[in-house]
Structure 1
Amino acid sequence: MQNVTTHQVPYPIGTPGTPWGPAEVAAWRAGQQRRRSYAEDVLRVIDRLRERFDVSEYGRLDYAADSYTLFAVRSPDWRDNLPTVLVTGGVHGYETSGVHGALQFLEREAARYAGRANLLVAPCVSPWAYERIHRWNPDAIDPNRSFRADSQAGESAALWRLLAPYSDSALLHIDLHETTDSDESEFRPALAARDGVDFEPGEIPDGFYLVGDTENPQPAFQQAIISAVEKVTHIAPADERGEIIGSPVVAPGVINYALKQLGLCAGITNARYTTTTEVYPDSPRATPKQCNDAQVAAVCAAIDFALG
């Protein structure tokens, strides 16, 4: 576990103990600057994939001067008698390997599942946040606590509509994430400030881990992914309390959340197999390539297990 330096002074926006209102959200949004390009990093890769996959628009986000088209990539040989596999990345835009791991899977590995499964991949759910390397959307909403039919987050609502037809037919949904040092130094303090509560410092797990579903944990499935990923990068150990990010470790590198209750992406459907990956890109023992490769290894292991 990594001890990360955190804010020792009140968060610079808002009044301690008072939840943000529109003025605070506007002040926070005004401080966010574009730091990379969705068009260059994501759409350019998706354009290359059009020769081998079906690419379709599933939504559009209009945020003042910024507008983003959301794309899904599907198997070209979609057949109703095949199992459906869902892969999502970039729900939190700052979690880089979630986006590039999904794209790398499509470019390098997806073809080997042709005729065995229908693949549906949404590689960058939150492009505004991707460009600003942030967790929230411009309304200071966390998309990954907002996956409900009546979601106020445009990113979450668009993906919900995309995946709703597969709610009962999907076999697998794997959602690709990262846990970063900035979770503790920026995003959790910002969350506490936004909600008007005290910030309680925590620890960042050093390594890869998975978040399964409390209501449908599928331990053998989770372990199959861990076994594949540990060949690529190290697995996060439990802390001295036997926990990872405050949740009990139920198996090496695995914790469980109530996915649907919390409005998490991996809980959108009733898929038999669901999991959320968490890569640690800030580890001195991991490179960006390893992080992307770990995401791809996780996706392939998940599909291989689900297909039997």
Structure 2
Amino acid sequence: MTTQFHYPIGTPGVAWGEAERTEWLSRQTRRRSYETDVLGTIGRLRPRFDVVQYGQLDYGPSDTYPLFAIKSRDWRDDLPVVLVTGGVHGYETSGVHGALQFVEQRAADYEGRVNLVVVPCVSPWGYERIHRWNPDANDPNRSFHADSPAQESAALMGLVAPFGDRVLVHIDLHETTDSDESEFRPALSARDGKPYEPGEIPDGFYLVGDSENPQPGFQQAIIEAVAKVTHIAPADANGEIIGSKVVAPGVINYPLRQLHLCAGITDARFTSTTEVYPDSPRASAEQCNAAQVAAVCAGIDFALDHR
């Protein structure tokens, strides 16, 4: 699917200043509840898991958000760490609910085998507004670096720092949506004063591996598991998915650390970013959540068998 769109804020070819960012922020409205949807579920998990607050976002009196991680209750220093992150882009719904569903339904399967750390909603402001950015018009998933401009990214890096060198698996749960072309990529071009070049949204699930550490067997194990739940995105006419060469069915690679992406914040041997397509007529919300759970489980299983 390709969509032409002219963004209504700013002057073409001129990067946004404070006035444009303020106008953009004034258009953002709360459309769902982090407290109800996410914190309510986390509350139900407290009897079974350790829940730790690792930070708080402060974006004004009515926009304060506590940030939580869910951890294995019987943490053992001799076990590998598995990190699952969701909602780095708050609008990507199954990233958040898939992470919570994994904890509710499958985390117990790994008790005594790994130390789990699940951060289901890295960007609650974006979750409530169904948006990719934070209120400063920054993309948290391009902000995982020293002196990060994104509170969300800095807080997560602080949480992970004490055990980042002990992580065996990190799976970051995302979606690619039609709104990427109708809203978010045009907004990015307008914000940066660059021409908007329409792209093609792939119909199906795919993975983004690390070009510096691709782990093709790991990625393939995830694809095979998810294919039992929802369809895998085919390559386009150029043999690409979202402009990157397909290196195996449903798999592309990015330089994670160079791009300051969430999946590059640890020294994990096995890393992957999932990309579910919730706008497909062939996929339901339940399938999207289940695909995220299947991806996490397949990734952990493969890593435990090949470490």
Please give the TM-score of this superposition, normalised by the length of structure 2: 0.98
Which of 80, 87, 102 is 1:90 aligned to? 87
Q: Is the 8 A contact 1:102 1:296 kept in 2?
A: yes
| 1:210 corresponding residue in structure 2 | 207
Local SS of the residue matching 1:187: helix
Instruction: Give the counterpart letter for 1:257 in structure 2.
Output: Y
Instruction: Give the counterpart letter for 2:193 in structure 1.
Output: G
Q: Is the 8 A contact 1:149 1:160 kept in 2?
A: no
What percentage of aligned pairs have identical amino acids?
A: 75
Quote the Cα distance in structure 1 between the aligned partners of 2:63 and 2:192: 26
1:6 to partner: Cα distance: 2.6
Instruction: Give the counterpart letter for 2:39 in structure 1.
Output: L
| 2:133 corresponding residue in structure 1 | 136
Structure 1, unaligned stretches of length 5 or more?
none
Matched, 1:18 2:14: yes
CA distances 1:160-196 after superposition (whole Å, capped 9, x unpaired) = 1011112211101000000000000000000000000
Structure 2, unaligned stretches of length 5 or more?
none
Please give the TM-score of this superposition, normalised by the length of structure 1: 0.98
Q: Is the 8 A contact 1:147 1:160 kept in 2?
A: yes
Q: Is the 8 A contact 2:57 2:65 kept in 1?
A: yes
Q: Is the 8 A contact 1:87 1:175 kept in 2?
A: yes
| 1:43 corresponding residue in structure 2 | 39
Which of 51, 55, 58 is 1:55 aligned to? 51
| 2:284 corresponding residue in structure 1 | 287
| 1:5 corresponding residue in structure 2 | 3
1:49 to partner: Cα distance: 0.4
1:77 to partner: Cα distance: 0.6
Matched, 1:147 2:147: no
Local SS of the residue matching 1:252: coil
1:4 to partner: Cα distance: 3.2
Instruction: Give the counterpart letter for 1:232 in structure 2.
Output: V
1:149 to partner: Cα distance: 2.4
| 1:181 corresponding residue in structure 2 | 178
Q: Mapping of 1:1-308 within 5 angstroms?
A: 3-7=1-5, 9=6, 11-64=7-60, 65-308=62-305
Local SS of the residue matching 2:190: helix
Quote the Cα distance in structure 2 between the aligned partners of 1:244 and 1:165: 35
Quote the Cα distance in structure 2 between the aligned partners of 1:123 and 1:74: 11
Q: Is the 8 A contact 1:54 1:73 kept in 2?
A: yes
Local SS of the residue matching 1:155: helix
Q: Which moved more, 1:219-228 or 1:59-68?
A: 59-68
Local SS of the residue matching 1:286: coil
CA distances 1:85-114 after superposition (whole Å, capped 9, x unpaired) = 000000000000000000000000000100
Q: Is the 8 A contact 1:84 1:171 kept in 2?
A: yes
Aligned length: 304
Instruction: Give the counterpart letter for 1:54 in structure 2.
Output: D
1:5 to partner: Cα distance: 2.6
Local SS of the residue matching 1:165: coil
CA distances 1:254-286 after superposition (whole Å, capped 9, x unpaired) = 000000000000000110000000000000000
1:150 to partner: Cα distance: 1.4
CA distances 1:66-101 after superposition (whole Å, capped 9, x unpaired) = 100000000001000001000000000000000000
Quote the Cα distance in structure 2 between the aligned partners of 1:59 and 1:17: 37
Quote the Cα distance in structure 2 between the aligned partners of 1:223 and 1:5: 31
